[in-house]
Amino acid sequence: MTTAISFFTGAGGLDIGLEQAGFNIRLALEIDPTYCDTLRLNYPSLNVREGDIMNYTKKRVFQEANISNKNEIDLVVGGSPCQSFSTAGKRKAFSDPRGQAMLKFANLVTDMQPKAFLLENVRGLLSASLKHRPLEKRGSGYPNLTEEEIPGSALKYLLSHFPDYEVSTKLLNAADYGVPQKRERVFIIGVRKDLNKTFNFPDTTHNEKGTNGKLPWKTVNDAFKRIKNTEHDYVNYSKERFRYMQMIPKGGGNWRNLRAYGEETVKEAMGGAYRSGGGKVGYFRRLYANRPSPTLLTSPIQKSTNLGHPFEDRPLSIQEYLVIQEFPVDYQIAGKLYEQYVQVGNAVPIRLAKILGESILNIISPNPIVV
Active site residues: 82
Are β-strands 165-173 and 75-79 bridged in parallel, bridged antiparallel, or unpaired? unpaired
Residue 106 per-residue DSSP state: H
DSSP states of 10-32:
TTSHHHHHHHHHTEEEEEEEES-
For residues 318 and 235, give the distance between their C-alpha atoms in angstroms, rounded to a whole number: 9
Whether 255 and 266 have beta carbons less than 8 Å apart is answered as: yes
Non-local (6+) Cβ contacts of 202 within 8 A are 177, 355, 356, 358, 359, 371
Q: Distance of CA 97 to CAs 80, 120, 138, 153, Å? A: 11, 17, 26, 18
Neighbours of 18 (CB within 10 A): 28
Please provide the DSSP assignment of 302-358 as one string. -GGG--B-SSSSSBPPHHHHHHHTT--TT----S-HHHHHHHHHTSPPHHHHHHHHH
Could you tell me if 308 and 287 are in contact, meaning their C-beta atoms sit under 8 angstroms apart?
yes
> Left, alpha or beta for 62 (phi > 0: left; psi -120 to 50: alpha)?
alpha
Q: Please, where are the H alpha helices in the chain?
A: 13-21, 33-42, 58-64, 97-112, 153-159, 220-224, 239-245, 263-270, 318-324, 337-345, 350-364
Report the distance separating Cα 173 and Cα 355, nearest Å. 13
